[in-house]
Structure 1
Amino acid sequence: MDARNPGDPATYSTLEAVRRFNEAFDRHDVDGVMAAMTEDCVFENTCPPPDGERYEGQDAVRRFWERFFSSSPDSRFTTEEIFASGDRCIVRWRYDWESGNGTPGHVRGVDIFRVRGGKVAEKLAYAKG
């Protein structure tokens, strides 16, 4: 068993759904990200502290991703670890960016995904710091 073949069909489906989501996300492809999410999707952002903002439904989540990708076109997320069980998946990540003056920065965090019907239904994001 490994991340590509976890043995359990539900876990495999979850990992595949999160993989599709992450591939679109890495391309900053809003249409691809939204195609990987359910109609009633939920996204909870890391900001503003302490609880972040919650977005519900395709329209609200799409608007967030459009703003996010346009405000940080050169940013990137790197998956540091991924594991799943059933319909849940945890991704430990690092987010890197450059500020307007070229100063690099990064933050680490985790996303907790719930998958339903082969698509991401929830993405709850948490960051260190």
Structure 2
Amino acid sequence: MSLSIDDLQAFADAWNRHDIEALMGFMADDCVFEASAGPDACGAHYAGKDAVRAGFSEVFQTFPDAQWRSPRHFVLGDRGVSEWTFTGTRKDGTRVEVNGCDLFTFRGEKIAIKNSYRKNRVPAAA
């Protein structure tokens, strides 16, 4: 059995509550989180529950008011997608609003891989 659209909505709701324990309850023991930003082509790579927990926590530390609005989900077999509009304010006051998505790989009823993508906004050309 795989996760459902309702499960992905519950996962999104946990992100919006900043509920690390609920989020980790969805993750497999050997889970992977590839963040939308980081030093590598895949962003920042976190492997294993402890590292993924730290990566999720880092998102909330970077954006204390982070929210993922208007989520839309679909599931096909052991894969799933969530699309959303991310809003958040960095500690320096910089406001971010971008569209993005998560690509999921499921193992049974857990998330094995959460691979995040966000649009990058750049200033308009003069």
Normalised to the residue count of structure 1, the TM-score between the two structures is: 0.79
Structure 1 residues 59 and 101, CA gap change in structure 2 (3 angstroms): closer
Q: Are 1:69 and 2:34 an aligned pair? A: no
Q: State the superposition RMSD in angstroms.
A: 2.0
Partner Cα separation in structure 2 for residue 57 and residue 20 of structure 1: 21
8 Å contact from structure 2 (residues 73, 81) kept in 1: yes
1:92-103 to 2 correspondences below 5 Å: 92-100=83-91, 102-103=93-94
Partner Cα separation in structure 1 for residue 90 and residue 50 of structure 2: 28
Partner Cα separation in structure 1 for residue 106 and residue 44 of structure 2: 20
Q: Which residue of 2 aligns with 1:33?
A: 23
8 Å contact from structure 1 (residues 43, 122) kept in 2: yes
- The count of corresponding residues between Structure 1 and Structure 2 is 119
Structure 1 residues 17 and 116, CA gap change in structure 2 (3 angstroms): farther
> Given residue 82 of structure 2, which amino acid in structure 1 is its aligned partner?
V
Partner Cα separation in structure 2 for residue 117 and residue 69 of structure 1: 28
Q: Are 1:56 and 2:50 an aligned pair? A: no
**Structure 1, gaps ≥5 residues long:** 1-8
Partner Cα separation in structure 2 for residue 123 and residue 79 of structure 1: 19
Structure 1 residues 120 and 105, CA gap change in structure 2 (3 angstroms): same
Q: Which residue of 1 aligns with 2:104?
A: 113
Partner Cα separation in structure 2 for residue 23 and residue 81 of structure 1: 12
Find the partner of 2:5 among 3, 6, 15: 15
